[in-house]
Amino acid sequence: MKFLQSVFSINSEMVNGELVIGGCKSSLLAKEFGTPLFIIDENDFNTRLKSWKSALDRHFGAQAGTVYYASKSFISIEVAKWISSSGIGIDVCSGGELAVALAANFDPAKIELHGNNKSEAEIRSAIKAGVAKIVIDSHQEIERVNRIAKEFGVIQTVLIRLTPGVEAHTHEFISTAHEDVKFGFSISSGDATKAAQEVEALANLHLAGIHCHIGSQIFESEGFETAATRLIEFLAQFRDRNSRELPELDLGGGYGVAYVEGETTYDPDLAMSAIASLVKDQCAKHKLVVPTVSIEPGRAISAPTTTTLYEVGTTKNVTLDEGGIRRYIAVDGGMSDNIRPALYGAEYSALLANRTSTSSEISSRLVGKHCESGDIIIREIDLPSDIGPGDLIAIPTTGAYGRSMASNYNHMPRPAVVAVNDGTARVILRRETQEDLLSLDVTEAPRVIN
Ligand SMILES: *Cc1c(COP(=O)(O)O)cnc(C)c1O
């Protein structure tokens, strides 16, 4: 079993057979904070924030817009403060995510609100807070946002989300811009044009530009380029129809990261240089002024920064029908803190974190403690045969869609998130307790509702 630096956070290393992250030993982190534990490498997070911002700035120059960190991948008040200090923006998709940003005193001028079914209350909180942009996703929402903006006596800047009809090369559930999806207005059907004209006609909306987000965990520039080409064509048609140019183009997120050996995290510079040259060429072709370009990476920033630490509880050898033996290694978490393998067959790497083993490696399946056979973290991985109760297993690259998608299945309290940096560790999101969960249960006398 080798330590794969490419899937661990920048400040992770093996020291005397033990995984050390941000200068903190795994065994001591487990002892101090318990397991399962999300360990976020603060310096790595800040480094990735800066590298996306500088890549956007370098390749788009004066036309560089904002990097909006996609908060749904993982957010907490402390993390929102890191984002705010690095000078980038944040995208929120619900009242809850907006509340976290506001609790961190995030500058509303750098907040963008997304979502295919924002409630009136969510739109109201966003406009009240003064968010920079609302990305409109449906015809009903055009009217809703206009009406609420009017109530507040403001003209709300909006983008409209378009579906460019791109089949992103990723899992169906994280592919978001082909035609048959719930998101956005279709360009090819003419719906996008209709939406733009509707927005143009309303007094309390200011249409600043267009948005798309083609999916997630994408490694090639092709999908982004096709999407950008279609969006720029749309900008040209808009100009021809309305005699003004829309100044903003938001190309969403979706940049892929390495989870297992053989994958390579999408380099921000490569991604931005490919997209920037395409955008400039297409704008020249249509005689458009290059718009201000924004992006919304989530996973690419958060995923590689975080490692989950589990403790092994039981192991089992199962004889397979086709012959041979499979070793099951069960840890103290599972689908409640990482639903991605069950949800879309996502793959992960693993490492024995607390000691060196000289035992031979055997084909193993790493599973959780939930009451589902599908509660699998890694379907097949070679791990030392002497792994047993009390050992620590580290799963790298769990920073995106791990804690943020966590559930309380089996009444499991959700794990803590600990930030490590330079030999120090601090809790930034505390572990839930059984009392937290029990406090939701109430004994109430029936009331007449009719
Ligand atoms: C999910 C999402 C993102 C971020 O996607 P990643 O794959 O995490 O980069 C960005 N924009 C929108 C609108 C999204 O829904």
**Rounded mean pLDDT, 281-299:** 98
3-state secondary structure of 375: coil
Burial (CB count <10 Å: 0-12, 13-18, 19+), residue 58: middle
Residue 377 has which token pair?
């973290």
Same domain, 290 and 380: no
Note the pLDDT tens digit of each residue in 184-229: 999 999 999 999 999 999 999 999 999 999 999 999 899 999 999 9
Burial (CB count <10 Å: 0-12, 13-18, 19+), residue 380: exposed
192 in any annotated domain: yes
> Among residues 297, 331, 346, which one ends one of the domains?
297
Direct distance between the N- and C-terminal alpha carbons of the chain, in angstroms, rounded to an integer: 64
Report which of 314, 330, 315 is spatially closest to residue 372, judged by C-alpha positions: 330
3-state secondary structure of 59: helix
**Rounded mean pLDDT, 439-449:** 97
Give the whole-angstrom CA distance, residue 156 versus residue 261: 46
Report which of 59, 66, 129, 118 is spatially closest to residue 294, judged by C-alpha positions: 66
**pTM score, whole prediction:** 0.96
Q: What is the CATH number of the domain that holds 358?
A: 2.40.37.10
Instruction: Locate all alpha helices (DSSP H) within 303-404, ordered by sequence.
Output: 340-344
Same domain, 325 and 392: yes
194 in any annotated domain: yes
Same domain, 291 and 434: no
Same domain, 284 and 396: no
**Rounded mean pLDDT, 103-123:** 98
Q: Residue 58: what pLDDT?
A: 98
Same domain, 147 and 238: yes
Residue 26 has which token pair?
């795994």
Write the residue with the smallest CA distance to atom 3 of ligand 1: 253
- Listed in sequence order, the residues at least 6 apart from 444 whose beta carbon sits closer than 8 Å to its beta carbon are none
CB 271 within 8 A of CB 251: no
For residue 302, the ligand 1 atom closest to its alpha carbon is 8
Note the pLDDT tens digit of each residue in 246-278: 999 999 999 999 999 999 999 999 999 999 999
pLDDT at 130 over 90: yes
Task: Give the pLDDT band of residue 324 (cuts 50, 70, 90).
Answer: confident
Q: Residue 323: what pLDDT?
A: 87
For residue 296, the ligand 1 atom closest to its alpha carbon is 10
pLDDT at 148 over 90: yes
How many other β-carbons are positioned within 10 Å of the β-carbon of residue 194? 14
Give the whole-angstrom CA distance, residue 338 versus residue 259: 14
pLDDT at 181 over 90: no
Q: What is the CATH number of the domain that holds 216?
A: 3.20.20.10
Chain centre to alpha carbon of residue 232: 26
Q: What percent of the chain stands above pLDDT 70?
A: 98
pLDDT at 115 over 90: yes
Q: Residue 178: what pLDDT?
A: 77
Expressed in angstroms and rounded, the spacing between residue 241 Cα and the centre of ligand 1 is 31
Same domain, 278 and 308: no
Q: Residue 179: what pLDDT?
A: 78
Same domain, 123 and 266: yes
**Rounded mean pLDDT, 289-315:** 98
Give the whole-angstrom CA distance, residue 331 versus residue 202: 56
207 in any annotated domain: yes
> Among residues 263, 297, 331, which one ends one of the domains?
297
Q: Residue 264: what pLDDT?
A: 95
Q: Which helix (DSSP H) or strand (DSSP E) does residue 229 occupy?
A: helix 221-242
Give the whole-angstrom CA distance, residue 419 versus residue 81: 13
Same domain, 317 and 256: no
Mean pLDDT of the chain: 96
pLDDT at 151 over 70: yes
DSSP per position, 73-129: GS--HHHHHHHHHTT-EEEE-SHHHHHHHHHTT--GGGEEE--SS--HHHHHHHHHH
Number of domains in the chain: 2
- Listed in sequence order, the residues at least 6 apart from 441 whose beta carbon sits closer than 8 Å to its beta carbon are none
Q: Which of 48, 75, 91, 134 to mutate for ligand 1's pocket (most ligand atoms within 8 Å of CB)?
A: 91
241 in any annotated domain: yes
Note the pLDDT tens digit of each residue in 328-358: 999 999 999 999 999 999 999 999 999 999 9
Same domain, 178 and 240: yes
- Listed in sequence order, the residues at least 6 apart from 260 whose beta carbon sits closer than 8 Å to its beta carbon are 7, 347, 348, 349
CB 297 within 8 A of CB 251: no
CB 5 within 8 A of CB 12: yes
Instruction: Read off the DSSP letter of residue 138.
Output: S
pLDDT at 171 over 90: no
pLDDT at 280 over 80: yes
CB 308 within 8 A of CB 418: no
Q: Residue 174: what pLDDT?
A: 61
**Rounded mean pLDDT, 11-28:** 98
For residue 217, the ligand 1 atom closest to its alpha carbon is 7
- Listed in sequence order, the residues at least 6 apart from 271 whose beta carbon sits closer than 8 Å to its beta carbon are 55, 221, 224, 255
Same domain, 333 and 253: no
**Rounded mean pLDDT, 28-35:** 98
Task: Give the pLDDT band of residue 111 (cuts 50, 70, 90).
Answer: very high
32 in any annotated domain: yes
| Matching residue, tokens 């892929």 | 256
Expressed in angstroms and rounded, the spacing between residue 75 Cα and the centre of ligand 1 is 13
Q: Is the CB of 298 under 6 A from ligand 1?
A: yes
Residue 366 has which token pair?
């790493």
Residue 322 has which token pair?
């086709």
- Listed in sequence order, the residues at least 6 apart from 170 whose beta carbon sits closer than 8 Å to its beta carbon are 215, 216, 217, 218, 254, 256
> Among residues 277, 297, 317, which one ends one of the domains?
297
103 in any annotated domain: no
Same domain, 250 and 290: yes
Expressed in angstroms and rounded, the spacing between residue 230 Cα and the centre of ligand 1 is 19
Q: Residue 20: what pLDDT?
A: 98
Q: Residue 361: what pLDDT?
A: 95
Strands 292-295 and 248-250: parallel
Same domain, 192 and 328: no
46 in any annotated domain: no
Active site residue 371: yes
Report which of 64, 197, 207 is spatially closest to residue 134, judged by C-alpha positions: 207
pLDDT at 172 over 80: no
Write the residue with the smallest CA distance to atom 15 of ligand 1: 213
Q: What percent of the chain stands above pLDDT 90?
A: 94
Domain that holds residue 371: 5-41+304-438
Residue 81 has which token pair?
């403060």
Note the pLDDT tens digit of each residue in 365-417: 999 999 999 999 999 999 999 999 999 999 999 999 999 999 999 999 999 99
Expressed in angstroms and rounded, the spacing between residue 329 Cα and the centre of ligand 1 is 33
Task: Give the pLDDT band of residue 84 (cuts 50, 70, 90).
Answer: very high
pLDDT at 92 over 80: yes
Note the pLDDT tens digit of each residue in 62-71: 999 999 999 9
152 in any annotated domain: yes
Q: Is the CB of 216 under 6 A from ligand 1?
A: yes
CB 235 within 8 A of CB 291: yes
Q: Residue 2: what pLDDT?
A: 83
Instruction: Read off the DSSP letter of residue 411.
Output: G
